Amino acid sequence: MNPCERIGHLIGSYLYGDAAPDEAHAVESHLAICPRCRRDVGTRRAALAALPPPAPTERERQRILEAVRAAAMGADAVCWHATRQWRALAIAGAAAAAAVLFVGGMWVGEQRASAPATPRATLGAAVRAVTPVPVVAAPEPMHPVPAPPKRPAREAPPVRRLPAPPPVRHAAPAAVVQAPRVVAPVPEGVDDIRLAALEE
Amino acid sequence: MEDIAAAMASQARRDEQLVARFQAGDARAFDELAAIHLGHLFALSVELLGNRDDAEEVTQEVLIKLYHCISRSRPPARLRAWLYRVCVNQCHDWRRSQRRRPVMLEMTEGADRALDPDPANWAAGAALREALRSALWELPRQQRTAFLLCHFAGLSVNDIAAALGCAPGTVRVHLSRATARLRDALSAEVNVDESV
């Protein structure tokens, strides 16, 4: 490797002032004696000078900084924001549950207040009145169908009536459920003795 | 030359001080840190993506990642290398997600005017820049990225090596080849003063 090639690998960092001191000294020593490399470095330096970095406009700069600030504030507030969201959700859920209970209670109260004294009969009638009864109309035949021959009407069989059940006797529950107490026979004369003791 | 090396070291120290201030509770320290790196990150993203709007989005995301990084854990040992590696990776991910090839961004007239206040030089300056940037776009990706990190982000060779995951010697070779390519492009356009 000739001196020009060896120096050539260092010229890039030399141009940016990032060569080690001994490397920079070697480059400068070589440039002092080599017009070709001197021309090379001069051309590279001019090219770099003609290549300015694309700078952001003031508007772009402000937009970037504002976006970064907003994101940073969002990152700081994320924990607080999450806590706040959960708290708001809990409050909203409790309020919704309370509202449902209140409205339901009001509705039940109104239903009870408007119900008549015989609720079963009236409620059943009301339900039947409200519930639509599906009426299915028989489709009319497209062709007239001959009526079937009439059979002689049979007499209805006599209705067998069951004998009326015997009246239910309501026995005294204590007599049915409770076992009869076994009372020890009191010997004659005991009551007289007790009465005599009380009288005394 | 020592001045440039000293400047790089002082930039690294300044970054560390700002991170320490931010972690101690000074929220404005992050604004300062973001303002320092915003321009470099944007320039790098524009050159890697070829689109200013995409570069704006990527710069935002990289700075947000920087915020999360230094607010939740210890900062990386080489913060600048970490930051620009994140930027390079973010640009590659962005390109993959957008499923489009980067195209060279043409400089607008306003940008030319900002670079050279003399209207007589706008056309020549614009032509030269376009030639140089075209040469830059023809470089291999790793070589081009190394050059952009050095030229637009001001990273040292060691930081570029850490950012790209290669040896410092490789970075030096990348830089030399990239500048040689630019030299050839410039030689084709204009005559250059030979004095060093």
Model pLDDT for residues A26-37, shown as the tens digit of each residue = 889 999 999 988
Of A44-53, A62-71, B160-169, which range is least confident?
Answer: A44-53
For the segment(s) B115-196, the CATH number from 3.30.390.10, 1.10.10.10, 3.40.605.10, 3.40.50.720 is 1.10.10.10
Task: Report percent pLDDT > 70 for chain B.
Answer: 79
The answer to whether B136 contacts A12, with C-beta atoms less than 8 Å apart, is no
Cα dist from A116 to A108, A111, A124, A128, whole Å = 14, 10, 12, 16
pLDDT number for residue A174: 44
Report which of B189, B71, B51, B62 is spatially closest to residue B130, judged by C-alpha positions.
B189
- Give the closest of A47, A55, A65 to B179, CB-based: A47
Q: How far apart are CA A23 and CA A26, in angstroms?
A: 5
Can you give the pLDDT at residue A191? 54
Parse chain B into domains and list their residue ranges. 1-100, 115-196
The interface predicted TM-score (ipTM) is 0.79
Instruction: Please give the CATH number for the structural domain made up of B1-100.
Output: 1.10.1740.10
Nearest to B35 by CA among A23, A55, A103: A55
Chosen for mutation from B32, B147, B176 (greatest number of chain A CBs closer than 10 Å) is B176
- Comparing CB atoms, the residue among B40, B64, B179 nearest residue A71 is B64
**Treating both helix axes as pointing N-terminal to C-terminal, what angle do B79-98 and B2-23 enclose, rounded to 10 degrees?**
80
pLDDT of residue A20: 80
Taking residues B103-118, report their average pLDDT.
51
Q: Given pLDDT bands bounded at 50, 70 and 90, which one contains residue B37?
A: very high
> Tens digits of per-residue pLDDT, A167-196?
545 444 444 444 444 445 555 555 555 555
Q: In angstroms, rounded to a whole number, what is the distance separating the alpha carbons of residues A85 and B54?
A: 34
pLDDT: is B127 or B147 the higher one? Answer: B147
Average pLDDT over every residue of B100-111: 54
Q: Please report residues of A whose CB lies closer than 8 A to that of B52.
A: 54, 60
Of residues B22, B56, B20, the one with CA closest to residue B41: B56
What pLDDT shows up at residue B59?
96
| Contact across the interface for B42 and A11, Cβ inside 8 Å | no
pLDDT tier for residue B112 given thresholds of 50, 70 and 90 = very low
Burial (CB count <10 Å: 0-12, 13-18, 19+), residue A193: exposed
How confident is residue A83, by pLDDT bands cut at 50, 70 and 90?
A: very low
Q: For the segment A88-126, what is each residue's pLDDT rounded down to a tens digit?
A: 666 788 888 888 888 888 888 888 887 765 544 444 444
Half-sphere exposure of A50 (CA within 13 A, CB side): 29
Tokens 């492009």 correspond to what residue?
B185
pLDDT band at B123 (very low <50, low <70, confident <90, very high): low
Residue A81 predicted with pLDDT over 50: no
**DSSP code, position A16:** T
Give tens-digit pLDDT for B45-89.
Answer: 998 988 899 999 999 999 999 999 998 878 888 888 999 999 999
**Is residue A192 classed as helix, strand or coil in its secondary structure?**
helix
Which of A59-63, A149-153, B25-29, B91-95 shows the lowest mean pLDDT across its residues?
Answer: A149-153
Region B9-38: what's the mean pLDDT?
Answer: 89
Whether B104 contacts B50, CB under 8 Å = yes
pLDDT top residue among B90 and B118: B90
**Closest listed residue to residue B140, CA positions, set B128, B131, B148:** B148
Average pLDDT over residues B33-51: 91
Q: What per-residue confidence (pLDDT) applies to B140?
A: 92
Residue A153, pLDDT score: 52
**Contacts with A, B 126-185, CB within 8 Å:** 128-129, 132-133, 136, 150-152, 156-157, 169, 171-180, 182-183, 185
Residue A50 DSSP code: T
Q: What is the mean pLDDT of residues B5-17?
A: 78
* B89 sits in which H/E element: helix B79-98
Interval B158-168: pLDDT, tens: 889 999 999 99
What are the C-alpha distances in Å from B11 to residues A37, A132, A188, B36, B148? 31, 87, 128, 10, 18
- From chain B, the residues in CB contact with A72 under 8 A are 30, 64, 67, 71
A83-103 core/surface letters (b: 16 or more CB in 10 A; e: else): eeeeeeeeeeeeeeeeeeeee
Tokens of residue A175, six digits: 């007599």
**In the predicted structure, residue B185 carries a pLDDT above the cut 50:** yes
Residue B34 clears pLDDT 90, i.e. is over it? yes
pTM: 0.59
Taking residue B83's Cβ as centre, other Cβ atoms within 10 Å add up to 25
Mean pLDDT for all residues in chain A: 68
Mean pLDDT over residues B104-127, rounded?
Answer: 55
Confidence of residue A80 (pLDDT cuts 50, 70, 90): very low
Q: Name the H helices within chain A.
A: 3-15, 21-33, 35-49, 58-114, 119-130, 173-177, 190-199
Question: What percentage of residues in chain A have a pLDDT greater than 90?
Answer: 10
